[in-house]
Structure 1
Amino acid sequence: MEAYTSFASVYDTFMDNVPYEEWGRYIQGMLCKYGVKDGIVLELGCGTGTMTEILAGYGYDMIGVDNSEDMLELAMEKRMKSGHDILYLLQDMQEFELYGTVRAAVSVCDSVNYITEPEELEEVFRLVNNYLDPGGIFLFDFNTDYKYREIMGDCTIAEDRGECSFIWDNYYYEEERINEYDLTLFIRECGRESEGDPDHTGGLYRKYKETHYQRGYTLEEMRTLLERAGLVFEAAYDMETKSEPGDTAERICVIAREAGKQPLTGK
């Protein structure tokens, strides 16, 4: 089943505990540290455009790429409210195309973990390298194999937010290093209250199901794939401590740099 269809409408509600503003300051600081203080920045897997909007607020000319039409519709609603001049493209990050190069590319919220085959992720990195300016920066975060294996695997998370609720069942397949999570969503239908509910405290809910797959990677694997794609590994940081990542890091931020183009492999 295609991911981020039904979930798109309530994605921001369930992600309201993510410190986007803090992450945005961190990303902007890192971009400046590595020489990208302005210019065009590409966000891969931009979703509903929350981080795209934050980076646009720092003065970057943003391009957002995502393969979910439902998510991009919400991103464009935010663009109308903010007035930011953001270009959104409905494209798969594994096959994205731009008209020119960019100063930097970013990808947040473990979007790269959705690329479950290392060879395919290497091609994504190769595409990024192709569209970066000479010396351009690529910044992304990913969930580690440790997080899926020890923290998320084989657990259930449930939340009730009134107008919507979800049950999130995780299954980690250690041999394949794939985390499957099955989302069961209950979303209140606007304007359709149930009989005997004059105060509109209940209402009718529709049930939806989605299945998502992510792969657990190690930092060493990421470094190898980046270097094979022609990028130069610059640094990595534990997103929790902002220090050098250890064996128990759950989410890692990686910075790589363009250092000469390599030809894209044929499809």
Structure 2
Amino acid sequence: MSYERFASIYDELMSDAPYDNWVEYTKSEISKAGLQSPKILDLGCGTGSMLLQFAKHDLYAVGVDLSDEMLMMAKQKLEKHSIKPELFQQDMSELDLGQMFNCIVIYCDSLNYLQDEERVRQTFKQAYSHLEEGGLLLFDVHSIFKIDELFIGQTFAYDGIENAYIWNSFEGEYPHSVVHELTFFAWNENKQAYDRFEEEHYQRTFSISQYIQWGKEAGFTSMEVSSDFKNCPPSEESERLFFSFKK
């Protein structure tokens, strides 16, 4: 999947994303774990919005993403705020930085883009190998309820000042997977007409017990699950699940 065009309008589409909530969740888990001077690794950092929020809260973070286009935008965004980012282009399931961290985050359902079970397991293993003793792996995923009931068979639309899209979601190849077919209309560089382009995004999720099992296999010994930015257990209709794995 190419993010060349998608990266250019990603921030507008994510303008309402609750980045502050992710920061507060991270700070809360760091405090509970008693981590001092946290060094954070943001896997699937995208255009750097989460990295920018961490910096505003005096939290040092390194970014990793698979997309060169996303990383280029992250670099530009952070440098505009006088932040010299440390960014790496890697697949999270093949993570190899030669650095250790005491907190690794995978937010905004980035983990759901891994379609293959083995890649999720490998991501947990690689995260574990990059964590100091007592460190945390924090991530969120779409729930099975959200994929099966709120995405599949639905159509969404967005009509912005310079960009618009039509978003259709279809059942994917695997259980609890979805194909997002997006048609974008974006002002071209001359601001004289709209360019049309299309993207397909694939997401898949698994049961809570499956994520827990893979975490145990990776070596994590302490695991907590909550939902929807609330410090409470998931319900049958929770949409976003949060996991806190401790090494």
The answer for the alignment partner of 1:137 in structure 2 is 136
SS in 1 for 2:133: strand
Alpha-carbon displacement from aligned partner over 1:87-107 (angstroms, at most 9, x marks no partner): 110111111211221111001
Q: How far did 1:39 drift? A: 3.1
Distance 1:174 1:73, change over 3 A: closer
Alpha-carbon displacement from aligned partner over 1:204-249 (angstroms, at most 9, x marks no partner): 1111111111112121111011111111242111124331112221
Q: How far did 1:132 drift? A: 0.3
Q: How far did 1:26 drift? A: 2.2
Q: How far did 1:37 drift? A: 4.1
The answer for the alignment partner of 1:200 in structure 2 is none
Alpha-carbon displacement from aligned partner over 1:98-151 (angstroms, at most 9, x marks no partner): 122111100100000111122220111000000000111110100011111011
SS in 1 for 2:126: helix
Question: 1:218 corresponds to which letter in structure 2?
Answer: S
Question: What is the aligned counterpart of 1:232 among 194, 200, 221?
Answer: 221
Q: How far did 1:174 drift? A: 7.7
Q: More deviation in 82-91 or 204-213?
A: 82-91
CA distance in 1, matches of 2:4, 2:174: 29
CA distance in 2, matches of 1:174, 1:40: 38
SS in 1 for 2:134: strand
CA contact (8 A) 1:137 1:255 kept: yes
1:249 aligns with 2:238: yes
Residues 58-73 of structure 1: pairs in structure 2 closer than 5 A: 58-73=57-72
Question: 1:141 corresponds to which letter in structure 2?
Answer: D
Q: More deviation in 184-193 or 173-182?
A: 173-182
CA contact (8 A) 1:39 1:103 kept: yes
Residues 82-161 of structure 1: pairs in structure 2 closer than 5 A: 82-161=81-160
The answer for the alignment partner of 2:170 in structure 1 is 171
Q: How far did 1:3 drift? A: 4.0
Question: 2:161 corresponds to which letter in structure 1?
Answer: G
Q: How far did 1:86 drift? A: 2.5
Where do 4+ consecutive residues of structure 1 move more than 6 Å? none
CA contact (8 A) 2:104 2:131 kept: yes
Question: 1:254 corresponds to which letter in structure 2?
Answer: F
CA distance in 1, matches of 2:165, 2:36: 39
The answer for the alignment partner of 1:216 in structure 2 is 205
Q: More deviation in 175-184 or 212-221?
A: 175-184
The answer for the alignment partner of 1:18 in structure 2 is 17
CA distance in 2, matches of 1:232, 1:15: 34
The answer for the alignment partner of 2:44 in structure 1 is 45
Residues 196-207 of structure 1: pairs in structure 2 closer than 5 A: 204-207=193-196
Gap runs ≥5 in structure 2 = none
Q: How far did 1:59 drift? A: 2.3
CA distance in 1, matches of 2:31, 2:233: 19
Q: More deviation in 28-37 or 99-108?
A: 28-37
CA distance in 1, matches of 2:191, 2:62: 38
Question: 1:92 corresponds to which letter in structure 2?
Answer: D
How many residue pairs get aligned? The number is: 247
CA distance in 2, matches of 1:40, 1:23: 16
SS in 2 for 1:70: helix
Q: TM-score, normalised by structure 1?
A: 0.88
SS in 1 for 2:55: helix
Question: 1:223 corresponds to which letter in structure 2?
Answer: I
Q: How far did 1:24 drift? A: 1.4
